[in-house]
Amino acid sequence: VANLLLALQPWEHEDFLPPTLRKRLESLPFDITTISPSALDSNAWEKILHDIKPEVLVSCWSTHQLPIDTPVSNEPSSLKYVCHLAGSVKKLVPRPLIERGLSVSNWGSAVSRTIAECALLLTLSALRRTSHWAIAMHRDGKWKDKSEVVTESLFGRSVGIHGFGRIAQQLVPLLRPFGVSISAYEPGMPDKTFIQQDVARCNSLEELFSHHDIVIELAAYTSENHHVISEALLSRIRPGGIFVNVGRGAVVDELALIRVAQQGVLQVALDVYEVEPLPQDSPLRGLPNVTLLPHIAGPTKDRRRDAGELALLNLERYVNKQPLDAEVTVEVYDRTS
Amino acid sequence: VANLLLALQPWEHEDFLPPTLRKRLESLPFDITTISPSALDSNAWEKILHDIKPEVLVSCWSTHQLPIDTPVSNEPSSLKYVCHLAGSVKKLVPRPLIERGLSVSNWGSAVSRTIAECALLLTLSALRRTSHWAIAMHRDGKWKDKSEVVTESLFGRSVGIHGFGRIAQQLVPLLRPFGVSISAYEPGMPDKTFIQQDVARCNSLEELFSHHDIVIELAAYTSENHHVISEALLSRIRPGGIFVNVGRGAVVDELALIRVAQQGVLQVALDVYEVEPLPQDSPLRGLPNVTLLPHIAGPTKDRRRDAGELALLNLERYVNKQPLDAEVTVEVYDRTS
């Protein structure tokens, strides 16, 4: 029986592996050890890897602080499969281990729809100025002045999306009932994908930012994408337009975004930032035309079990020597943040 | 040529009758007089009605303060048609005038979709606690604690709607991409309408509030509906559930709602209240599990032209002696708030 190390904090366990999934895990031919990574320093973590010699590691967000690139990995390693419940494995798994044959999987597209949902929510919120009203109604005792209040609808708008990966593709069906026209910019994506989704292809970021009422940032972060959203691009959005970022903070030149936001002409709605946590003195805080969330786009607490479900399917595939779903190959590793 | 009196404030004119619609109006065989109702007292208003003797009155929100039930209406009245750009005509048109043959139309279902959009927005906002984050991020310099933050998704939920009129029926397609199951309670609505929309029929409010994660209030206000949403009903929503009101404030026993909200177990999201403006000292203000908007569900500023478009079609029908759309008959008058 192979050893399986479950390195999760109790709340991660509860959210990602609720009782029905935990039962399915226990029915698999593994000798399971459960630890809470937050209680460990790197020495204790190294000793656990050495003593338990796991063949399979089930990891999550809090395992990031305990990378498996320890001296132990210089021994002939017992570890054959890292089943990561969350997204990015870069802090946990060093690239050479994947090159040498370690299998790694993550949540793939299991949670993409909840991030798409947050993109829709931030768009609707910016159009209605709900962030302004939350503060005005709760803190400042206000009511509207009917002749002055500005509210806008998503119906009939044009939406441009930077990036056309899993999340953007899950956003499209959420936008459709609003009768919007949708375009996207993602140079590497084949025409077929655009045609299947009935989304127009943009040929440049300049086109994307010039021709849409609403621009939604969903591009993956790569070295070429660093700060690619510049002041010149942001200024192309028509006055009264909307810029939403639920992708990666560093794709945007945040100082440029702050300057544009301070002009008060655009509505800006952000879930991600260049530096997280967002500094207390960030000029983004307090701007009336800016909606802020603390990087909570996804997955929501109630849908983390979708990532757990995918992990269970993968552990079952691993036991049956079938190919894994959402495998993090070297190519995927290099492409993701 | 018949006299047409356009009684609108400049901002109403701009929103409801932008230049293309104004041009169409000017091409019709009317002698048009434009006045701003806010500048008038009731004597001046009466004099205008007497002097202009309009056959057609185009009215909007701000005309409410100047009802057409003046002594002038005891004369054989010139007025044959009130083309109301907004919804409720009850403050403007006394019922006997409709009985005596005055034609009245309103915005019908032209703006229902924007109110449905706000219902979706409030639902998604309550699930993600965006009102809490707006205040925490902008006013209190906060960031999340990953192990404590609660976020929820609409995907896979059950939604119950009180009322199944135009707005609720426009809400259904906005909810569909989230794979929710939808039920509604509206005793007077024929089964056919439920079947066409693939919405389950609830047979009581008790059933509606007991069996759904999310309850959305969209019922029209009638004397039988007054305070029908009681503490007993609200307490039936499962812990962690959501109550949204974008319908009418007085359908809900607001003191009961306040008591339930203060327990902190439900998420509550409101656009309407028993007393509007919402009093400064309302206990609803400041509750962390309550999302508040100042009655802005609809129509949004950018879509008021949809109501203008319908009004123009009706004015064209009036000229051509064709039946009006969205006519406010005595039956409609009695049914609406």
Average pLDDT score over chain B: 94
Q: What's the mean pLDDT in B36-61?
A: 91
pLDDT of residue A74: 57
pLDDT at position A206, please?
98
Residues of B in contact with A278 (CB under 8 A): 137, 143
| Whether B144 and A280 lie within 8 Å, measured CB to CB | no
d(CA A184, CA A168): 9
Distance from the B70 Cα atom to the nearest Cα atom in chain A, whole angstroms: 26
Residues within 8 A of B (CB atoms), A 211-270 only: none
The C-alpha atoms of residue B251 and residue B245 are separated, in whole angstroms, by 9
A152, B300: Cβ pair inside 8 Å?
yes
Tell me which chain A residue has its CA closest to the CA of residue B147.
A11
Provide the pLDDT for residue A334: 86
Check residue B108 and give its pLDDT. 95
Residue B238's SS3 state is coil
User: Would you call A138 and B137 a contact, using CB atoms and an 8 Å cutoff?
Assistant: no
- Closest Cα in chain B to A277: B143
The percent of residues above 90 in pLDDT, for chain A, comes to 86
Closest CA to B230 of B203, B204, B251: B251
Model confidence at A70, pLDDT cuts 50, 70, 90, reads low
Token output for B58: 């185009």
| A65 vs B: CB within 8 A | no
Peptide linkage before A76 cis (omega within 30 of 0): no
Distance between CA atoms of residues A284 and A274, nearest Å: 12
CB contact under 8 A, B151 and A301: yes
**pLDDT at residue A72, as a whole number:** 47
Q: How many angstroms separate the CA atoms of A12 and B119, rounded?
A: 32
- The pLDDT of residue B74 is above 60: no
At B147, is the pLDDT very low, low, confident or very high (cuts 50, 70, 90)?
confident
Neighbours of A34 (CB within 10 A): 13
- Best to test chain B binding among A14, A36, A131 (most B CBs inside 10 Å): A131
The minimal CB distance from A277 to the residues B143, B285, B302 is found for: B143
Out of B141, B142, B177, whose CB is closest to A174?
Answer: B177
Q: Of A183, A180, A240, whose CA–CA distance to A206 is shortest?
A: A183
CB contact under 8 A, A135 and B134: yes
Separation in Å, CA of A7 to nearest CA in chain B: 15
Q: In the predicted model, is pLDDT for residue B279 greater than 70?
A: yes
Residue B142 at interface with chain A, using a CB cutoff of 8 Å: yes
pLDDT at B314 over 50: yes
Q: What does pTM read for this prediction? A: 0.95
Q: Where are the beta strands (DSSP E) in chain B?
A: 2-7, 30-35, 56-59, 81-84, 103-105, 158-162, 181-185, 200-201, 214-217, 242-245, 267-270, 290-292
Q: Are A59 and A38 in contact (CB under 8 A)?
A: no
Torsion (CA) A318, A319, A321, A323 in degrees, nearest 10:
-30
Residue B174's pLDDT band (boundaries 50, 70, 90)?
very high
Nearest to A278 among B117, B143, B285 (CB): B143
Closest chain A CA to residue B129: A293
Give the distance from residue B125's alpha carbon to the nearest chain A alpha carbon, in angstroms: 7
For the ranges A34-43, B140-149, B193-202, the maximum mean pLDDT occurs at: B193-202
pLDDT at A236: 97
- Report CB contact under 8 Å: A113, B176: no
Residue A120 has pLDDT above 70, yes or no: yes
CA B155 to chain A, closest CA, distance in angstroms equals: 8
Confidence band, pLDDT 50/70/90 cuts, at residue A64: confident
User: Is B300 within 8 Å of A153 when comparing Cβ atoms?
Assistant: yes
CA dist., res. B76 & res. B262, Å (int): 56
Q: With bands split at pLDDT 50, 70 and 90, how would you rate the model's confidence at A76?
A: low
pLDDT on residue B21:
98
Rounded to the nearest angstrom, the minimum Cα separation between A29 and chain B is: 31
Quick check: B200 pLDDT over 70?
A: yes
- Asked if A292 and B118 come within 8 Å (Cβ–Cβ), the reply is no
Task: Note the pLDDT of residue A77.
Answer: 79
Indicate if the pLDDT at residue B156 is higher than 50.
yes
Which pLDDT score, from 0 to 100, does residue B68 have?
79
Residue B37 has pLDDT above 60, yes or no: yes
Tell me the mean pLDDT in the region A294-323: 97
A114, B285: Cβ pair inside 8 Å? no
Residue A150's CB: how many other CB atoms inside 10 A?
A: 14
Q: Which residue has the higher pLDDT, B67 or B202?
A: B202
Q: Least CA distance to B125: which residue of chain A?
A: A121
Report the C-alpha gap between B224 and B110 in whole angstroms. 27
What pLDDT, on the 0 to 100 scale, is given for residue B70? 55
Predicted confidence (pLDDT) at residue B92 exceeds the cutoff of 50: yes
Confidence check: pLDDT of B222 > 90? no
B109 touches chain A (CB under 8 A): no
Q: Does residue B71 register a pLDDT over 70?
A: no
- What angle is formed at CA A322 by the lines to CA A321 and CA A326, rounded to 5 degrees? 125
Beta carbons of A293 and B137 less than 8 Å apart:
yes
The reply to whether residue B134 touches residue A292, judged by beta carbons under 8 angstroms, is: yes
pLDDT at B72 over 80: no
Chain A residue numbers with beta carbons less than 8 Å from the beta carbon of B128 are: 118, 121, 293, 296, 300
Mean pLDDT estimate for chain A: 94
d(CA B127, CA B105): 38
Check pLDDT > 80 for residue B65.
Answer: no
| Residue percentage of chain A with pLDDT more than 70 | 97
Q: What is the pLDDT of residue B336?
A: 76
Nearest-CA distance from B150 to chain A in Å?
6
CA distance A240 to chain B (A): 11
